[in-house]
Amino acid sequence: MAVDLTQFHAVFFEEAAEHLADMERRLVALDPADPDREDVDGIFRAAHSIKGGANMFGFAEIAQVTHELETLLDAARRGGLQVTNAIVDAALGARDFLQQALSAARAGRPADAAQAEAQSAALRKLAARGAPAAVGQTAAARPAAAVADAQTLELSWPAGRERGALAVAQLIEQVAQLAGTTPAAFAGSARQLQEDGSARLVLPAGVDAAQMREGLAFVLPPECMRLPATEAAADFGFFEENLPAQLAAAPAPAPAARPAADFGFFDENLPERLQGTQAQARDRRAGDRRQGDRRTGDRRGGAPVADADAVSIRVSAQKVDRLINLTGEMMIGVSMIRSGAASEQAFSSSALGSALASVERNMRELQEAALSIRMIPIAGVFARFPRLVRDLSARLGKVAELRMEGETTELDRGLMERLIDPLTHLVRNSLDHGIEPSAMRTAAGKPVRGTVWLRARHEGGNVVIEVEDDGAGLPREKIVRRAREMGMQIDESSSDAKLWDLIFAPGFSTAEQVSDVSGRGVGMDVVRRNVREFGGNVEVSTQPDKGTRMTVRLPLTLAIMDGMELALGDEIYILPLNAIIESLRPAPEDLKSIGGARRALQLRGEVLPVLPLAEVLGVAEALPITEGVLVVVENAGRRAALAVDALLGQQQVVVKNLEANFRRVHGLAGATILGSGAVGLILDVEALVQRAGGFGRAAAGETQRDLA
Amino acid sequence: MDDKPQAQDDGQGREYLAFSLGGEEYVVDILKVQEIRTYEGVTRIANVPAFIKGVMNLRGTVVPVVDLRLRFNVGKAEYDATTIVIVINLGRRTIGMVVDGVSDVVVLKPSDLRPAPEIAGVLRAEYLQGVAILGPRLLIVVDIDGLMSSREMGLLETAGAQSAA
């Protein structure tokens, strides 16, 4: 009977995506002059895992390319093939193809077979170059390793992995296969391994210890196996873990010898764009290394195989949201008990009262804990940027390195995905507009290699992300000129802050020519709009010849918001607190009527449009404006006064989107559950302010606020 | 949610929830029905069609409620303690619908079903899977997914937005 494999597809896609991300990270970090063995192994493992899944599920193209990639990496791993930039690039290309093929497969479309063939051919060609050497090297090495006669293999079961009979049997089968015998030969050891978690296996004579070790590396962390013969072999400088000597089979070549070999590859396999970037890439990598061991340490710690302490489980976001929902409901239940209990004598001073207080406290903690599940380190977003900087600086012919700080800063998963586009844009801008060409940098007495920093940190209830470069800074004169061309009221005496803010105006670009990277004038306004959409802000600071820093400030989580509850008739609405400037009871003389029905509020010399919310929201019995409260709100520099019956108070609300089960509704930003258990609707300030319209203020849009 | 309708068809048939709407009796696959509730605590949403009554809190989830009586101009749209909301689960979406009343659960075999006649009932034929005759009763089998995701219900953005979700 056939098992329906499609049910496992989702798992495969998810895992493959993780492997691809890991592969990319390691490839970009890989320094051809001194390839980190662990990285090469990691890339190989990733390719191998994807290949396994692809074969099982019948994604032939993916299997084909991963197979070639695996062959190439295996040659590099065994040391026969010198890792070059050409290999790294080809592997990155293959990775990109795999990503495409995977998303095609996910969408149920077939992968591009022609491209798979092209990728495979490129990889094969590179692998073929290393092949003769590989044969020679391994042939020489093997006998040395195989000298030992009967050897013992000491296995210990990895901590944190479940020691099931099936898992043990699989491991033993693997060993048997590598040893060229049958699992039955190790039956006793298997039992022992299952019972004690460790066992000593006597291997038949002639087993290649190196091969055994490498073969098992896929299923067992290195510290869980001991092959005495391998230790002996270490004397040859061959198998030692974590030592450059381990790469004896891939001797680090004298630098002088390398360019010739590299160019050989370039001529055949690479577009000319890389010619000039090779040195720069090496520079950058050297810089990466110089940056310190901390990062290397981090990376090691995050290695997927060995880390038994950081146990994590994969849980669907739906389950997490359900948990958050339920804790939210419990909170509401508890607060309903609390308000009921307030009137009950029994609760006021008794054990019941303190029990309730402790339940409330625990509930709050439970809710925080539940919400924290949604928080993940920003490293997931940052991970894509080394590659971006590498490719882009090559394309722009610039020399630049990326430094990242605070990758462990956590923020809401939902924010993460939406951050990618704005951040990508900012980093691109830094490379394209910020970092100068090498000649200019030299002339200015700066280091040839430009630096782009990507930093993240928590600050109060916010996450702050900075994209900074040590480039030329924003060109003040150009901005002034461009602003005038666009008919803006700007002159040389305008303050810096006003000028810098102009780059966020729609259609504003000072780039002399439009490159395929940036300069089309769409961008910064979109970045600001995106960031503001999820309650954040972008600021710019710059110094001529010193560089530019873009600071993105975001709320910690999308899931919770500080809101103000408003009463309108017998309905309750929620207004985001950060949009509220002030509230007031208007005196009749402050309210002017403009153009008949429209009303305006005169407030300290400013004239604000008044929007009667009851009318907009179709609330039947609301108070007349003069008897209610006006709430002054601001969005994107525009202000309006919303007329409501009363303000009920400030409340932290759990934000739920209407789209989950319904659709977007104009004028609403979302919904939440009120203390009463009913749904409360969260108003969309942007839509309301737009609807209120401006009295001349709206015309210049976003920049108006700073210019006024 | 993965059970395909065909899987249970061999032999004893499937269970359907019967509800009434404008004097006609409809049935919906009981596996699509999450629960039945009374109509209460529905928050009105401004500027949506009148038959979309608003949203309610279903254990922390915000669920839209539509009144099929208003949508199809049948029955009297009154709301009291006996007004019933059938909560329908459409894969990833949950939707509440108000009907005239819920009668019972019936078991229909595939052989009981016959094509829906092209006559104008309360619901258009394109949202019907067929009709079944059970003793004196004529039961109309609703394609609830088709109905709820149809443009005329206005519950989803557009077809495009739906597939992007």
In a domain, B155, yes or no: no
CB atoms within 10 A of CB A481: 13
B84 vs A237, residue with greater confidence: B84
Å between A613 CA and nearest CA of chain B? 11
Is the pLDDT at A386 greater than 50? The verdict is yes
Å between B37 CA and nearest CA of chain A? 15
Are B45 and A665 within 8 A, CB to CB?
yes
Which is nearest to A412 in space by CA: A468, A458, A466, A361? A458
Are A659 and B165 within 8 A, CB to CB?
yes
Å between B93 CA and nearest CA of chain A? 5
- Give the DSSP letter of residue A92: H
Rounded Cα gap, residues A468 and A662, in angstroms: 41
Residue linked to tokens 């280091």: A447
Q: pLDDT-derived band of residue B157, with 50, 70 and 90 as boundaries?
A: low
Q: Quick check: A672 and A563 in contact, CB under 8 A?
A: yes
Chain B nearest-CA residue for A617:
B46
Chain A nearest-CA residue for B159:
A663
Computed from CA positions of residues B29, B32, B35, B40, in that sequence, does the dihedral angle turn out positive or negative?
negative
Are B47 and A666 within 8 A, CB to CB?
yes
Rounded Cα gap, residues A704 and A698, in angstroms: 8
Has domain A379-555 been given CATH number 3.40.50.300? Answer: no
Which is nearest to A410 in space by CA: A370, A374, A385? A374
Helices vs. strands in chain A: H and E counts, helices first:
25, 21
DSSP 3-state percent helix, strand, coil across chain A (nearest 5) = 55, 20, 30
Rounded Cα gap, residues A176 and A160, in angstroms: 24
Chain B nearest-CA residue for A660:
B93
**SS3 (DSSP) at B7:** helix
Q: Quick check: A296 and A304 in contact, CB under 8 A?
A: no
Q: What is the pLDDT of residues A239-280, one digit of tens each?
A: 334 434 334 344 444 444 444 434 433 334 444 444 444 444
Instruction: Report chain A residues whose CB lies below 8 A from the CB of B94.
Output: 661
A656 vs B118, residue with greater confidence: A656
Are A660 and B93 within 8 A, CB to CB?
yes
Q: Which CATH superfamily is domain A5-141 in?
A: HPT domain (1.20.120.160)
Instruction: Report chain B residues whose CB lies below 8 A from the CB of A668.
Output: 45
Of all residues in chain B, what percent carry a pLDDT higher than 90? 30
Instruction: Report chain A residues whose CB lies below 8 A from the CB of B93.
Output: 660-661
Dihedral (C-alpha) A683, A652, A457, A298: value to the nearest 10 degrees?
Answer: -110
Instruction: Report chain A residues whose CB lies below 8 A from the CB of B54.
Output: 679
In a domain, B160, yes or no: no
HSE-CB of A487 using CA atoms within 13 angstroms = 3
Within A310-404, where are the H helices? 317-341, 345-349, 351-373, 379-382, 385-396
Q: Which of residues 71-100 of B touch A (CB under 8 A)?
A: 93-95
Chain B nearest-CA residue for A670:
B62
Out of B60, B63, B165, the one facing A328 most closely (by C-beta) is B60
Angle at which helix A37-57 crosses helix A9-29, to 10 degrees, equals 160
Out of B41, B62, B161, the one facing A671 most closely (by C-beta) is B62
A with B: how many residue pairs have Cβ under 8 Å apart? 79
Chain A nearest-CA residue for B61:
A325
**Which of A21-25, A369-373, B154-158 has the least mean pLDDT?**
B154-158
Which is nearest to A399 in space by CA: A551, A287, A231, A558? A287
Å between B33 CA and nearest CA of chain A? 15
SS (H, E, C) A154-189: EEECCCCCCCCHHHHHHHHHHHHHHHCCCHHHHHHH
Q: What is the pLDDT of residues A425-469, one digit of tens each?
A: 899 888 888 888 888 898 888 898 999 999 999 886 678 999 999
Instruction: Report chain B residues whose CB lies below 8 A from the CB of A667.
Output: 46-47
Find the mean pLDDT for residues A305-315: 61
Count of domains for chain B: 1
For residue B126, the enclosing domain spans: 14-148
HSE-CB of A604 using CA atoms within 13 angstroms = 3
Are A663 and B47 within 8 A, CB to CB?
no
Å between A655 CA and nearest CA of chain B? 10
Chain A nearest-CA residue for B88:
A661
Instruction: Report chain B residues whose CB lies below 8 A from the CB of A322.
Output: 60
Q: What is the pLDDT of residues A86-140, one digit of tens each?
A: 888 888 888 888 888 888 888 888 888 888 888 888 888 888 775 544 333 333 3
Q: What is chain A's length?
A: 708
User: What is the pLDDT of chain A when averaged over all its residues?
Assistant: 74
Please report, for residues A243, A281, A302, A372, A463, the alpha-carbon distance to residue B98 in angstroms, rounded to integers and kept in the order given: 71, 65, 53, 37, 44
In a domain, B3, yes or no: no
Out of B60, B63, B155, the one facing A329 most closely (by C-beta) is B60
Whether B50 and chain A come into contact, CB under 8 Å, resolves to no
Q: Which residues pair with B108 in a beta bridge?
A: B14
Q: Which of residues 71-110 of A touch B (CB under 8 A)?
A: none
Are B43 and A678 within 8 A, CB to CB?
yes
Chain B nearest-CA residue for A325:
B60
Rounded Cα gap, residues A647 and A651, in angstroms: 11
pLDDT of A150 = 53
Are A671 and B156 within 8 A, CB to CB?
no
Q: What is chain B's length?
A: 165
B59 vs B36, residue with greater confidence: B36
Are A329 and B63 within 8 A, CB to CB?
no
Are A571 and B44 within 8 A, CB to CB?
yes
Are B62 and A679 within 8 A, CB to CB?
yes
The sheet carrying A668-673 orders its strands as A646-654, A560-568, A571-576, A679-683, A668-673
Backbone angles phi, psi at A270, to 5 degrees: -125, 145
Rounded Cα gap, residues A320 and A339, in angstroms: 29
Are B48 and A673 within 8 A, CB to CB?
no
Whether B35 and chain A come into contact, CB under 8 Å, resolves to no
DSSP string, A366-384: HHHHHHHHTEEETHHHHTT
Are A661 and B47 within 8 A, CB to CB?
no
pLDDT of A307 = 45
HSE-CB of A577 using CA atoms within 13 angstroms = 13
Q: Which of residues 302-361 of A touch B (CB under 8 A)?
A: 322, 324-326, 328-329
**Which of A170-179, A564-573, B29-38 has the least mean pLDDT?**
A170-179
Q: Quick check: A663 and A644 in contact, CB under 8 A?
A: no
In a domain, B39, yes or no: yes
Is the pLDDT at A506 greater than 80? The verdict is no
Question: C-alpha angle with apex A354: A352 to A360, nearest 5 degrees?
Answer: 105
Are A667 and B43 within 8 A, CB to CB?
no
ipTM score: 0.83
What stretch of H or E contains A403? strand A400-405
**Pairing verdict, β A450-459 and A400-405:** parallel
The b/e string for A248-277 (b: 16+ C-beta within 10 A; e otherwise) is bbbeeeeeeebeeebeebbeebbeeebeeb
Give first-to-last CA distance, chain A, whole Å: 75
Has domain A559-692 been given CATH number 3.30.70.260? Answer: no
- Pick the most confident of A143-152, A330-339, B102-111: B102-111
**Which of A158-167, A189-198, A404-413 has the least mean pLDDT?**
A158-167
Q: What is the pLDDT of residues B93-136, one digit of tens each?
A: 899 999 988 989 999 988 888 887 776 666 777 788 888 988 88
Amino acid at A317: A
Which is nearest to A131 in space by CA: A92, A70, A79, A94? A79
CB atoms within 10 A of CB B64: 28
Chain A nearest-CA residue for B92:
A661
Whether B11 and chain A come into contact, CB under 8 Å, resolves to no
Rounded Cα gap, residues A86 and A521, in angstroms: 35
Q: Quick check: B76 and B43 in contact, CB under 8 A?
A: no
Q: What is the pLDDT of residues A30-61, one digit of tens each?
A: 877 777 878 888 888 888 888 878 877 778 88
Å between B16 CA and nearest CA of chain A? 23
Chain A nearest-CA residue for B93:
A661
Rounded Cα gap, residues A350 and B44, in angstroms: 41
Question: C-alpha angle with apex A589: A586 to A595, nearest 5 degrees?
Answer: 100
Whichever domain contains B115, its CATH number is 2.40.50.180
**Residue A702, token pair as written in the block:** 């976003």
